[in-house]
Amino acid sequence: MKRCSLMSDIAGKPCILCCAITGSVPRKADNPAVPISVAEQIESSHAAVEAGASIIHAHVRNDDETPSSDPDKFAVLKEGLEKHCPGVIIQFSTGGRSGAGWERGGMLSLKPDMASLSVGSNNFPTRVYENPPDLVAWLASEMQEFSVTPEVEAFDLSHLLQAQAMHAQGKLFGKLYVQFVMGVKNAMPVDKEVFDFYVQIMQSRAPDAAWCAAGIGAAQIVVNEWAIAAGGHTRAGLEDNVRLNKAALAPSNAALISRAADLCAKYDRPVASPAEARAILGLRPA
Ligand code: MG
C-alpha cells in the first residue's frame, strides 16, 4: 500500500536525466566509447540528449586523455553543445580531479547554465578530496558573479547540510539543487537507509529545493531506480560507470541514459525535456 501511495505522488512528475559524459577518470582503454576530444564529446552528448538527457555534465581532457581545466577547451565544447544540442543544460565540472585549487573555477566566466560545486572534503579512492572553506566560498562567489546555478555534489551528509546552510545564507546562485553521490570508494557507500534519510532531510529542511542522485559503477542503475522511485532526478553516463553489466561494456552514454529513461517509464515519470528541466531548476530559458 505504501508503494502505491508513493507512486501516485510521483506519477506524472517529470524526471531530469543528467548525462556525465566523460569525467576525469575513465580512459579509452576502459571503454572505447568514453568521449575524449571535444568533437567526440559533442557527438556523444547529442546521442544522449536524443535518449533523454537534459543536462550535460562535462569535464574536458587533453589529447593524451589526462584531465584538463583549460577554459579554452570548455569554450569550444560550450559552443559545440549550443549548436548541436540546442537548449540542453550545460553543466561544467569544478571538481578537484580536473585541476588544483583556483584553476577549478577558471571556466565559470564562460557562464555555463550550471556548474558542479563541492562544499566539503572527503576521501576518494586514493587521495583526500580537498575542498577547503576558502576555495568553496570563492567558487560559490564566482558562480554568483556569472549567474551559474550550482549543482552541489554531496559525497557525505555534512555536504548536504552545508549546501542548505550556504543557500539559506544567500551564498549559492539560484535555486538549491543537490546531488547525492553514492559509491565512491572511501566516501559514502551505496546505502538505501542513508539515501532515504538524505531525501527526508531535503524534504523537511529545504522543501523548495530539488535533488538528484548518482551511483558509481554497478550501482549506477541501482541509484537511478532509487531516485526515480523517490521522486527525484538522476544521473547516468560513462564518467560514473563504463559497463552495462558484468559481461558488457556500455556502448555509449546514450545507452546508459536509455536505461534510466526505461526506469522512468516503469514509475510513470515522463523524462523532462531540456525546457522542462530549466523550469524545474529555475534556470534561464535557452
Ligand atoms: Mg564530474
- Say what the pLDDT of residue 7 is: 57
For residue 247, give the C-alpha cell.
559481461
Confidence of residue 97 (pLDDT cuts 50, 70, 90): confident
**CA 129 to centroid of ligand 1, rounded, Å:** 13
* pLDDT tens-digit series, residues 228-281: 999 999 999 999 999 999 999 999 999 999 999 999 999 999 999 999 999 999
Residues of the chain with pLDDT > 70, as a percent, come to: 97
* Mean of per-residue pLDDT scores for the chain: 95
**CA 263 to centroid of ligand 1, rounded, Å:** 23
| Residue 82 pLDDT > 50 | yes
Neighbours of ion ligand 1 (CB under 5 A): 93, 95
- Say what the pLDDT of residue 2 is: 45
**CA 66 to centroid of ligand 1, rounded, Å:** 14
* pLDDT tens-digit series, residues 128-160: 999 999 999 999 999 999 999 999 999 999 999
* pLDDT tens-digit series, residues 36-64: 999 999 999 999 999 999 999 999 999 99
| Residue 210 pLDDT > 50 | yes
Tell me the average pLDDT across 83-92: 98
Which amino acid is located at 98 in the chain? S
| Residue 206 pLDDT > 50 | yes
All domains in the chain, ordered by first residue: 2-275 (3.20.20.70)
Residues of the chain with pLDDT > 90, as a percent, come to: 93
**CA 86 to centroid of ligand 1, rounded, Å:** 22
**CA 6 to centroid of ligand 1, rounded, Å:** 31
Tell me the average pLDDT across 169-198: 98
| Residue 18 pLDDT > 80 | yes
The DSSP result for 121-167, as a single string, is: -EE-SSSEE---HHHHHHHHHHHHHTT-EEEEEESSHHHHHHHHHHH
**CA 242 to centroid of ligand 1, rounded, Å:** 14
CA-based nearest residue to 177, from 264, 94, 282: 282
- Say what the pLDDT of residue 8 is: 65
Tally Cβ neighbours within 10 Å of residue 223: 26
Which amino acid is located at 123 in the chain? N
**CA 9 to centroid of ligand 1, rounded, Å:** 31
CA separation (Å) from 252 to 23, 32, 52, 135? 14, 9, 13, 34
- Say what the pLDDT of residue 243 is: 98
**CA 274 to centroid of ligand 1, rounded, Å:** 20
Tell me the average pLDDT across 95-120: 91
